[in-house]
């Protein structure tokens, strides 16, 4: 069944961590200070991170998994 997941454009991400703070599932980490990483297993596709991202580089995408 298709699911909605948040994805980060890692080239444009500024690694500020705004997304991490609003994620209700703690699915986002900035492991090495370079870009945000979303754990697709935890992401529920709520879109809070996409709304918060100051650079608007997070999008919601439909995945098959």
Among 3, 40, 47, 55, binds another protein (CB under 8 A): 55
Tokens 């609003």 belong to residue: 22
- The reply on whether position 41 binds another protein by CB under 8 A is no
- The reply on whether position 20 binds another protein by CB under 8 A is yes
- The reply on whether position 4 binds another protein by CB under 8 A is no
Q: What is the helix, strand, coil percentage profile of the chain, to 5? A: 15, 25, 60
Task: Say how many Å lie between the first and final Cα of the chain, rounded.
Answer: 7
Which positions lie near another protein, rule CB under 8 A? 10, 12, 14-18, 20-21, 24-26, 30-35, 51-57
């Amino acid at each position: 069944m298709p699911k909605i997941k948040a994805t980060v454009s890692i080239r444009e991400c500024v690694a500020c961590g705004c997304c991490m703070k609003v994620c209700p599932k703690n699915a986002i980490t900035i492991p090495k200070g370079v870009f945000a990483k979303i754990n697709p297993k935890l992401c529920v596709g709520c879109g809070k991170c996409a709304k918060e991202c100051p650079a608007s580089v997070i999008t919601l995408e439909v995945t098959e998994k």
